[in-house]
Amino acid sequence: MILFDNHIHSEYSPDGRMTMVEAVKAAEKMGLGGLSFTDHFDIDAPGDNNHFSFDPKEQQLKIDNLRTDTDLFIGKGIELGLQPVALESAKRAVSNFDFDVIIASIHFVDGIDPYHDKYYDLREERVAYGRYLETIFECISKYKDFDILGHFDYITRYSPYKNKSLTMSHYGEYLDPILRVLAENGKALEINTNTYRNRNGSAPVLDYEVLKHFFQIGGEYVALGSDAHDAVRVGDELKEAATNLVNTGFRYTTYFSERKPVLLPIS
């Protein structure tokens, strides 16, 4: 089974703790088929987050140089942070560059960063999770220039609640509209293995019923991503995710080259 890591952060991300060279070496060591560098690019980020951006021209030039020294496919990507108030700005920011893949991610809700406790202080679980999912739906309904929806359950990573999983049984009314937008527009849903790491004694669990529902309503593409910020996590848990994906109906994982999906059989 060929595995591809669609979600990698390098020295071009302010929170990246590895160079591109280190990431490629880690991918080669793991036997991956390739990886895409998707460094952070958030428009009009609130608070102290305005440094989450990079120069795509410089990043892509370095990728061109790396491609000459490896047999791996190295994708030119970006993790584009979306907010309802900044969709036009996001569109303009990426319009001058050619990418292999654009990941659309929501990192901020109503001007608040859920990484910090403030987001959860005045919200019960259902309100906190529900508002995040409503924001995803609003953004991807209006902004279509992306290939992968990144970490749909990011909101559970740092939450203080006992329940840290977005399941179809409890949040299907929010998840179904999101999945339908993705399916109808030929977008990929990401399994982001960084979400399911243990933090502060507990970890979210991916409900594969979400993937099964996505498949049943016509979803075609699932992308695997480690969301690695350091070399030890490149390719982390991708094989397990792909193996479990078979039970949902999917027989392929996906990566993108020149914004076109490439299918990798799960075997």
Other Cβ atoms less than 10 A from the Cβ of 244: the count is 14
Q: How many domains does the chain have?
A: 1
For the chain, where are the E strands, in sequence order? 4-8, 34-42, 73-81, 101-105, 148-149, 188-192, 221-225, 252-257, 260-265
Q: Which of the four pLDDT bands, split at 50, 70 and 90, describes residue 9?
A: very high
Q: Residue 148 pLDDT > 80, yes or no?
A: yes
Q: Which of the four pLDDT bands, split at 50, 70 and 90, describes residue 122?
A: confident
Residue 47 is predicted with a pLDDT of 78
Q: Please name the helix (run of DSSP H) or strand (run of DSSP E) that holds residue 182, with its range, or none.
A: helix 168-184
> Domain containing 157 — which CATH number?
3.20.20.140
| Averaged confidence pLDDT in the chain | 95
Q: Which of the four pLDDT bands, split at 50, 70 and 90, describes residue 199?
A: confident
Query: Does the pTM of the predicted model rise above 0.85?
Result: yes
Q: What residue spans of 70-124 are helical by DSSP H?
A: 87-94, 118-121
pLDDT in tens, 10-55: 999 999 999 999 999 999 999 999 999 999 999 888 877 778 899 9
Amino acid letter, 7: H
**Domain span at 115:** 4-265
